[in-house]
Amino acid sequence: MTHSDNQSIEVIPTLLVGDSSFGSEMIPLCTLCIEVDERRIRFCIVRDENMECIWLEDYSFEKALGQAEVFERLKKIFTGHLLWSSNHWKNVRISINSHAFSLIPRSVFDKESVKNYLEFALGDSVPYNERVLSHQLPIVNAYNVFSIPDLWYDWMINHFQHSSITFYHLTSPLIIGSLVSHAEHDEVRIVSAYFEKDYFTLSISEESKLILCNRFRFTQFQELVYIILFTLNQLNIQQDEVKLLVYGEITPTSDLYMELAKFFPNMQTGSGPMTLKYSPQCSEIAGHRYFALFNTYLVSS
């Protein structure tokens, strides 16, 4: 991509909310959470002193983009934004939303075998231009292994060289959020479903213990419902024995919600994690939609 092509890219937030009193002098006291995938780039700022979310920006793309296209937009956002361009954040936590991940029990995890784990999960080789990373998830006694484009990784490491930076796979904050839900809802079994366009991540937990976490592709709502029901059946769980919490790209008036409601009598739209506080501006947004982004902060807090 040429310099002139890069200049022609317009990156306009689909949502921007924040505390107008926030200034650059507060950056060293805050954590910047970033969520990146082929369809969106999202940011939120959490004030560490009181664990309060005080800023959120969402950049959504009309279609799925390639690695280089996402990279150009990422650079454009950061270099053109007074806040994001700083490299002196207290912490930077980056959540990569990709199809390539694998949860490996801590008891058998071997750091030297991370690439093999991921290739087994993919059923194919890891692309030559991607870096395999892993991080421990103590709450489930496992490591999450995933990949990130070298292009993104190298630039982020360089840009945030004066901050404490950590990379996660999106499923890690979703797992954290789903397990914390047991403290917020008086239920033995909880099914958490996080919806995106053409994909959803399903987490099933019982008494605050993770039973399953997987990502599925779907083309029709009926197919999605079948996948959930089939998965529960394989675990010998009836749908009326669980509470279904839905997150992501779904609303109580959507066709998807209506279809799910036919099969799950105990279902409701989830919310942002109650462990965090929210500024008056951020408290007005749909917390279930940014469930993964908010929980990115909680993976290490």
- Domain check: are 191 and 241 in the same one? yes
| Residue 5 pLDDT > 60 | no
- Domain check: are 136 and 159 in the same one? no
Length of the chain: 301
Q: What is the pLDDT of residues 73-109, one digit of tens each?
A: 999 988 877 776 777 899 999 999 998 899 999 999 9
CATH of the domain at 7: 3.30.420.250
- Domain check: are 62 and 184 in the same one? no
Task: Supply the pTM of this predicted model.
Answer: 0.93
Q: What is the pLDDT of residues 254-281, one digit of tens each?
A: 999 999 999 999 999 999 999 999 999 9
Question: How many domains is the chain partitioned into structurally?
Answer: 3
- Domain check: are 232 and 163 in the same one? no
Q: Where are the alpha helices (DSSP H) in 16-113?
A: 67-79
Average pLDDT for 223-237: 96
**pLDDT averaged over every residue in the chain:** 92
Angstrom CA distances, 62 to 11, 65, 213, 278, stand at 12, 9, 28, 29
Provide the CB-side half-sphere exposure for 243 (13 A, CA): 18
| Residue 142 pLDDT > 60 | yes
- Domain check: are 151 and 181 in the same one? no
- Domain check: are 49 and 155 in the same one? yes
- Domain check: are 16 and 162 in the same one? yes
In the chain, count H helices and then E strands: 8, 15
- Domain check: are 109 and 242 in the same one? no
- Domain check: are 18 and 165 in the same one? yes
- Domain check: are 282 and 264 in the same one? no
* Cα–Cα dist 29/20, whole Å: 16
- Domain check: are 262 and 161 in the same one? no
* Structure tokens belonging to residue 234: 């394989």
Structural domain harbouring 93: 3-98+147-172+275-298
